[in-house]
């Protein structure tokens, strides 16, 4: 007799799936993610855009399987934004193909703040083209085109895209190690993609194309230059408008724009791309930060050292930089001997350590250097001060015993925390593990990774794991600060290294008289001084606090009658260590005040007949407020208090 009841207690033709709350749903075999959403409720079915099947993101049309754990993804889900943006990039490609039939499509991923798509076109896109493409996207979105997934054999997919003239897609497929590939169709547009995607183009409701750039195919400078269109997308217009407002604010704060306006630094094609030229006020800003750094390091037991700019190539070969970092280095020749211009400071610091026999009683050694380094960055990634070819690092290397490693790592984390508070930054941490291209034994990498992991856990702060993004010689803790626009910037890093001490035969004598190998911690607090200043400019919008401002006070005269007293004020302030600027030009006072405001100077002292007669100054602050008239001595005390409050 036929029994329709299975061994596991379900009827043939039914499947059971588990929901996030651990409840079980029974559906008919062949049911999809959408069917599950509909079985839970009409509202969920209307809100559903995708699903998560045993932890893998899938389309709504994906069939369910027996025993799977399933989660319905809506626009409010954390994963939704990436799906919305990826689908919108396909919508953009469809619009481009409709308007520019000869365009060839390449790749179009979702990225942190939106999406992009690269195209091979006859002529570069113009801003007017962007407006047309965006309008076409809106038209296609309103059409509500169904987005459908299809599985094809590799051969059939190659044939399909060859017939369409999409040579870039053919190249991608040919490089895939797979027997089948997936494509997505929406109307007359077909694209190669793993998915998942939105159910239809109607879900692309809030998007904006933001910019155009050039991009080499597959990032290879020897391949064709393509046109890249950047855009962003959100679940609703309110979120999009808020993001676009942040973009406008970011433009107003752009450190390249403010750097010119505040006369801090410049770049010159005559000098070369990626090499900043520091003007007096910018150099003063650097000096303030560097002096701060020296004091903070000396307080924490660091020794200041200085290494040469070039070292023999033999050393770079021994360290592994030549094999693993050579494409980022510059080389020269002196007396028929090859030298490498240093991209990092660690080699000199190891040579200092190696210059004497070391005892365990002397460890740890903490060598600190404001070391200028040179790295060959590609022209396409250079970006103001944020990515340059010559920069100064607040670099230090700690050489310690394995037993001291945990406390040294925690000491650096505490150092970072103290400094970020002073500058007003929140920050996040992540542990970056061993990359494919690396040196050292598995044992040493495990020891180094576990040391960093243990210290992170003991801090009690949350952190992420960034697989495969460590340095070639060791894992690292990357610390990303958050600015006032909630952007993340990589600055501080802590790297644990058992490998280079081995390669350079660094030793110390332990309590038993035996030679042992120290551990080396590579670390920066601010990172690149150039990059950090770029971030600071944007964070403060150029309005630096008193302690940091390259010019703290500007002294303005109303007429030449006040010149003798004004000069006396300037000299007194300078003698007190205040960074002061004099504006004694024969210009209208309103013009001079306006210029000082545009320079975002913290404080103005307007010297008129009243101030001369009373031997006082009347401070006018950056926000427009005027303080009571006071003596120069009281004003100096006021400035000292403002500086103390920030630092």
**Number of Cβ within a 10 Å radius of residue 74:** 16
Give yes or no for a cis peptide into 290 (omega within 30° of 0).
no
Cα–Cα–Cα angle for 117, 119, 123, nearest 5°? 135
Residues 512 and 527: beta-carbon distance below 8 Å:
no
User: 453: Cβ–Cβ under 8 A, 6 or more apart, which residues?
Assistant: 431
> Hey, CA dihedral for 339, 343, 348, 353, is it positive or negative?
negative
Rg over CA atoms, the chain: 31
User: 486: Cβ–Cβ under 8 A, 6 or more apart, which residues?
Assistant: 246
* Residues identified as active-site: 346, 375, 393, 395, 397, 476, 522
The DSSP annotation for 273-338 comes to: TT--EE-HHHHHHHHHHHHHHHHHHHHTTPEE----SEEEHHHHHHHTHHHHHGGG-EEEEETTEE
Burial class (CB in 10 A: 0-12, 13-18, 19+), 49: buried
Q: What phi and psi values does residue 217 have, to the nearest 5 degrees? A: -60, 125
User: 71: Cβ–Cβ under 8 A, 6 or more apart, which residues?
Assistant: 19, 20, 51, 52
The DSSP secondary-structure symbol of 257 reads: H
**Number of Cβ within a 10 Å radius of residue 117:** 23
Give yes or no for a cis peptide into 546 (omega within 30° of 0).
no
Six-digit token string for 606: 């307007």
User: 380: Cβ–Cβ under 8 A, 6 or more apart, which residues?
Assistant: 214, 215, 216, 221
Nearest to 152 by CA among 111, 192, 106, 207: 192
Helix (H) or strand (E) holding 70: strand 70-74
Q: Which residues make beta-bridge pairs with 69? A: 18
Nearest to 176 by CA among 163, 199, 158: 158
Residues 16 and 66: beta-carbon distance below 8 Å:
yes
Q: How many CA atoms lie within 13 A of 197 on its CB side?
A: 30
Residues 542 and 261: beta-carbon distance below 8 Å:
yes
């Amino acid at each position: 007799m036929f029994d329709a009841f299975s061994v596991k207690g379900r009827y043939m033709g039914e499947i059971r799936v588990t929901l996030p709350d651990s409840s079980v749903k029974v559906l008919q075999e062949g049911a999809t993610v959408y069917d599950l959403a509909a079985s839970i409720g009409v509202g969920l079915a209307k809100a559903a855009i995708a699903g998560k099947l045993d932890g893998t993101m899938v389309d709504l049309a994906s069939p369910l399987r027996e025993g799977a754990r399933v989660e319905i993804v809506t626009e409010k889900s954390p994963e939704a934004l990436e799906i919305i943006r990826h689908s919108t990039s396909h919508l953009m490609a469809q619009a481009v193909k409709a308007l520019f039939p000869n365009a060839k499509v390449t790749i179009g991923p979702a990225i942190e703040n939106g999406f992009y798509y690269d195209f091979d076109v006859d002529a570069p896109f113009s801003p007017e083209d962007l407006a047309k493409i965006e309008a076409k996207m809106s038209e296609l979105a309103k059409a509500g085109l169904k987005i459908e997934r299809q599985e094809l054999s590799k051969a059939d997919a190659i044939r399909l895209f060859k017939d369409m003239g999409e040579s870039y897609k053919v190249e991608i497929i040919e490089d895939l190690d797979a027997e089948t590939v997936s494509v997505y169709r929406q109307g007359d547009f077909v694209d190669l993609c793993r998915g998942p995607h939105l159910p239809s183009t109607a879900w692309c409701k809030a998007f904006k194309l933001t910019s155009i750039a050039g991009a080499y195919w597959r990032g290879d400078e020897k391949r064709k230059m393509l046109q890249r269109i950047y855009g962003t997308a959100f679940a609703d217009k309110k979120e999009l408008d808020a993001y676009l407002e942040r973009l406008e604010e970011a433009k107003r704060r752009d450190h390249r724009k403010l750097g010119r306006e505040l006369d801090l630094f410049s770049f010159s094609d005559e000098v070369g791309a990626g090499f900043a030229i520091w003007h007096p006020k910018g150099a003063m800003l650097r000096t303030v930060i560097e002096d701060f750094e020296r004091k903070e390091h000396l307080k924490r037991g660091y020794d200041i050292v200085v290494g040469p700019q070039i070292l023999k190539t033999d050393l770079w070969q021994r360290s592994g930089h030549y094999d693993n970092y050579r494409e980022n280095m510059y080389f020269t020749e002196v007396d028929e001997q090859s030298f490498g211009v240093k991209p990092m400071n660690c080699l000199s610091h190891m040579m200092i350590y190696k210059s004497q026999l070391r005892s365990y009683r002397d460890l740890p050694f903490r060598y600190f250097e404001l070391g200028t380094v040179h790295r060959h960055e590609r022209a396409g990634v250079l970006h103001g001060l944020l990515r340059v070819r010559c920069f100064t690092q607040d670099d230090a290397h700690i050489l310690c015993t394995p037993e001291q490693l945990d406390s040294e790592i925690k000491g650096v984390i505490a150092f970072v925390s103290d400094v970020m508070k002073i500058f007003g930054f929140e920050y996040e941490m992540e542990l970056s593990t061993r990359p494919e291209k690396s040196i050292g034994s598995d044992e040493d990498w495990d020891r180094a990774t576990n040391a960093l992991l243990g210290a992170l856990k003991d801090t009690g702060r949350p952190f992420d794991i960034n697989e495969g993004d460590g340095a070639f010689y060791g894992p690292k803790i990357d610390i990303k600060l958050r600015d006032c626009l909630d952007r993340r910037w990589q600055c501080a890093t802590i790297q644990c290294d058992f490998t280079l001490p081995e390669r350079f035969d660094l030793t110390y004598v332990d309590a038993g008289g035996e030679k042992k190998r120290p551990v080396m911690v590579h670390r920066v607090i601010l990172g690149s001084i150039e990059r950090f200043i770029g971030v600071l400019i944007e964070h403060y919008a150029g309005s630096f606090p008193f302690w940091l401002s390259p010019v703290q006070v500007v002294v303005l005269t109303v007429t030449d009658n006040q010149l003798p007293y004004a000069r006396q004020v300037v000299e007194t302030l300078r003698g007190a260590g205040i960074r002061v600027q004099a504006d004694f030009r024969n210009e209208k006072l309103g013009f001079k005040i306006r210029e000082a405001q545009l320079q975002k100077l913290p404080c103005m002292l307007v010297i008129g007949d009243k101030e001369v007669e009373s031997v006082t100054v009347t401070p006018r602050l950056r926000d427009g407020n005027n303080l009571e008239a006071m003596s120069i001595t009281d004003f100096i005390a006021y400035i000292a208090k403002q500086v103390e409050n920030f630092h």
